[in-house]
């Protein structure tokens, strides 16, 4: 067997494997048949999936990305404007040919080349949203009304339309934002290379950070990512900690109100460097959080000579973890609400010589003195006995029951 034929056979096997994988992800029988017909038509009209095109340079990851793009296009088949059988492929590389297919199927007007990458996004909400941007612009909609997570100025929209085709849309959006604000290409690339091209939230805060970078003369682009990571960690990243014996919960970031007002890049970089040096293992650490007793009183009422009904306030995270484990619900996640005095948690039970038997967990809003929820084991509704005791306690303490 000649070397060229061997290469073609190898390429064909890789292409067949990528198609089989895509078929397994396509869904039901109808979807798999539709994909097979779609692929067959594309192979007959272009070199996108022909072995000769890949011989000697098969990239399994690139093939999977291409098949992911074809699957995404097929997912929009009810919106196709023209039959795939009428497609006349554009000459050029894989991206150009694929872009011409996407335009043929879903666009009446030219779409910026960077949005072709939307079809290669991983399946999910973010990828689906990017693909709708393509369709919006392809039907004549403006980039500024496409529903981007960043509000684009005219200049930003222009920069986005000129972004290199190989960029991912999220990267291109952040890149265009910085360019539209007057930043250099190097600065735009530096900022877009951080998590800010993958996460779009708290845009007012991050815009202030971008302005700080823009206004710093002689900025070392290498300092951008450490500062962004530091700010994100302190202001937005929740921590996982262990309370009780082994209950994991998430707690708020250490500095959710962090502001960069009065800061310089130098001061932030210094903080970021110190923060990085203090980083330890990501393994959750054990913590105990405690809070003061509320103004609401506890409760005790004899049931018989041996037992008494009690309602006890839980005053630390270990108590919450033990309650949650015993009652098989998520009351441990209320730790921060209790620390912040936004909530109080109470355990209703029967106490006797053999100990205390937990029967229900109660949440009271201390600001309104309202019982907002109560549940037994596995979040079951309280039985009549527990409801009666809870109402008696609420009446005695001036609480409103709203659950």
**DSSP state for residue 234 in the 8-state scheme:** H
| Whole-number pLDDT of residue 5 | 61
| Enclosing H/E stretch for 9 | helix 3-25
Reply yes or no on whether the pLDDT at 1 is more than 50. Answer: no
Higher pLDDT pick, 96 / 18: 96
Q: Which of 398, 395, 400 is nearest to 370 (CA)?
A: 400
Find residue 355's DSSP bridge partners: 352
**How far is Cα 69 from Cα 25, in angstroms, rounded to an integer?**
13
What per-residue confidence (pLDDT) applies to 93?
A: 82
Q: What are phi and psi of 213, to 5 degrees?
A: -65, -45
Contact 136, 147 (CB under 8 A): yes
Helices (H), 139-260: 154-161, 169-180, 185-192, 203-214, 224-235
* Residues 97-107, mean pLDDT to the nearest whole number: 96
* pLDDT tops 90 at residue 259: yes
Check residue 200 and give its pLDDT.
95
pLDDT of residue 4: 57
Residue 385, pLDDT > 90, answer yes
Q: How many other C-beta atoms lie within 10 A of the C-beta of residue 238? A: 12
Mean pLDDT for the stretch of residues 255-267: 95
* Cα 279 to Cα 230, 241, 271, 282, 283, distances in angstroms: 11, 15, 12, 8, 11
Q: What percent of the chain has pLDDT over 90?
A: 72
SS3 content of the chain, % helix, strand, coil (to 5): 55, 15, 35
Give the separation between CA 226 and CA 268, rounded to whole angstroms: 9
pLDDT in tens, 206-235: 999 999 999 999 999 999 999 999 999 999
Residue 368 has a CB neighbour count (10 Å cut-off) of: 11
How would you write 304-372 as a 3-class SS string? CCCCEEEEEECCEHHHHHHHHHHHCCCHHHHHHHHHCCCCEEEEEEEEECCEEEEEEEEEEECCCCEEE
Scan for tokens 């991050």, then name that residue: 206
> What is the DSSP secondary-structure string of 73-121?
HHHTGGG-SS-GGG--PPSSSHHHHHHHHHHHHH-SS---GGGGGGGGS
The CA-based dihedral angle spanning residues 200, 205, 207, 213, taken in that order and rounded to the nearest 10 degrees: -120
State mean pLDDT over 20-25: 79
Separation between Cα atoms, residue 280 and residue 190, nearest integer Å:
27
Mean pLDDT over all residues of the chain? 91
The predicted model gives 19-42 an average pLDDT of: 84
């Amino acid at each position: 067997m000649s070397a060229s034929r061997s290469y073609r056979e190898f390429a064909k096997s890789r292409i067949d494997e990528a198609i089989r994988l895509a078929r397994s992800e396509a869904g039901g029988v109808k979807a798999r048949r539709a994909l097979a017909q779609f692929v067959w038509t594309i192979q007959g009209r272009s070199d996108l999936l022909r072995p000769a095109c890949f011989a000697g340079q098969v990239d399994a990851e690139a093939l999977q990305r291409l098949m992911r793009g074809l699957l995404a296009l097929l997912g929009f088949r009810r919106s196709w404007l023209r039959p795939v059988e009428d497609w006349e492929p554009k000459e050029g590389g894989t991206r150009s040919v694929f872009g011409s297919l996407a335009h043929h199927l879903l666009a009446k007007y030219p779409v910026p080349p960077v949005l072709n990458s939307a079809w290669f996004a991983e399946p999910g909400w973010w990828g689906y949203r990017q693909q709708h941007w393509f369709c919006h612009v392809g039907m004549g909609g403006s980039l500024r009304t496409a529903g981007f997570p960043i509000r684009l100025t005219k200049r930003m929209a222009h920069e986005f339309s000129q972004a290199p085709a190989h960029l991912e849309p999220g990267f291109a959006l952040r890149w265009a934002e910085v360019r539209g604000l007057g930043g250099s290409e190097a600065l735009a690339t530096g900022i877009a290379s951080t998590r800010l091209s993958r996460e779009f939230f708290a845009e007012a805060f991050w815009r202030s950070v971008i302005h700080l970078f823009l206004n710093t003369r002689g900025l070392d682009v290498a300092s951008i990512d450490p500062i962004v990571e530091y700010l994100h960690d302190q202001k937005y990243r929740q921590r996982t900690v262990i309370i009780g014996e082994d209950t994991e919960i998430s707690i708020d970031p250490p500095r959710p109100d962090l502001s960069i007002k009065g800061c310089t890049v130098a001061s932030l970089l210094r903080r970021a460097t110190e923060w990085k040096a203090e980083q330890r293992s990501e393994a959750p650490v054990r913590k105990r959080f405690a809070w003061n007793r509320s103004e609401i009183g506890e409760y005790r009422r004899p049931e018989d000579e041996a037992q008494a009904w009690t309602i006890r306030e839980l005053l630390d995270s270990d108590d919450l973890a033990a309650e949650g484990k015993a009652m098989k619900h998520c009351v441990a996640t209320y730790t921060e609400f209790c620390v912040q005095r936004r909530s109080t948690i109470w355990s209703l039970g029967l106490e006797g010589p053999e100990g205390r038997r937990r029967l229900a967990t109660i949440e009271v809003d201390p600001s309104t003195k309202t019982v907002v929820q109560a549940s037994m084991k596995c979040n079951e509704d309280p039985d009549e006995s527990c409801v009666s005791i809870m109402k008696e306690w609420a009446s005695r303490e001036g609480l409103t029951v709203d659950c």
